[in-house]
A and B are shown apart, each in its own frame.
Chain A
Amino acid sequence: MNKEVSNKSVNSVLLPTLLVVGVAFLVTAVVFGADSVIPGVHDAFHDFRHSVGITCH
């Protein structure tokens, strides 16, 4: 019973936490246009970056 509750907690907290950390990393790459992290992200999100006022070329 306890193990069942614990597994449910892992699924409901740890997995979303990992998701958030992963997405935060990707968002950082998008915001700063880090092509070295995600190839092509600079050009793809260039308009977005300027629109939200982040420095860019």
Chain B
Amino acid sequence: MHFMISGTQLVLPVINIMAGTIELQRGIITGVIAGAIWGIFTLCISSITQLLEFDFSFFNGIVTFSVAGMGLGLVAGALYSVIRNYLPFQNEILKGGFLSTAIWLIFFVCSLILSGTSPERYHFHNEQSLQGLILSVFLGVFIGLLWKSDKIRQLINTINL
């Protein structure tokens, strides 16, 4: 009898199972689109609230905010597709809001730790943090809304992923 099993043989069944149950590509595409929308939404809200002095113009901001939003959205969307069945809500929008807020909280707590270790470098701003918390909910809302959209499914089928 052969008991030698290669690493690939061990991993591939797991991958096969995952491929049938988790729609990772759908999560990534949903997250990227939702993130781009959220980035521009964040820029618009920040321009209205004026809680910070912008270094760049609104039009430069469109690029940086949408790029950062797409990155954050990609990670949130992928994570959403993997763990959405374990999130404590039935509604997709609430699930998304919960997850994106949790991701923001992780980043925020880490930034607070950085602020504690080097306060001259990282400054804490109450109003901006509150704005960030509220905006983080919207990223998940956009992901939840797009996740339910049939157009995303059609897009994935069109590009044949």
B104 CB to closest chain A CB (Å) equals 7
Tell me whether B132 and A24 are in contact (CB under 8 A): no
Residues of chain A within 8 A (CB-CB) of B129 are: 53
Residues of chain B within 8 A (CB-CB) of A46 are: 55
Residues of A in contact, count (CB < 8 Å): 34
Tell me whether B64 and A48 are in contact (CB under 8 A): yes
Give A48's nearest chain B residue, CB to CB: B68
Tell me whether A16 and B108 are in contact (CB under 8 A): no
Tell me whether A50 and B52 are in contact (CB under 8 A): yes
B12 CB to closest chain A CB (Å) equals 5
Tell me whether A47 and B61 are in contact (CB under 8 A): yes
Cβ proximity bits A35-52 to B, threshold 8 Å, 1 near / 0 not: 000000001111110111
Give A31's nearest chain B residue, CB to CB: B107
B10 CB to closest chain A CB (Å) equals 12
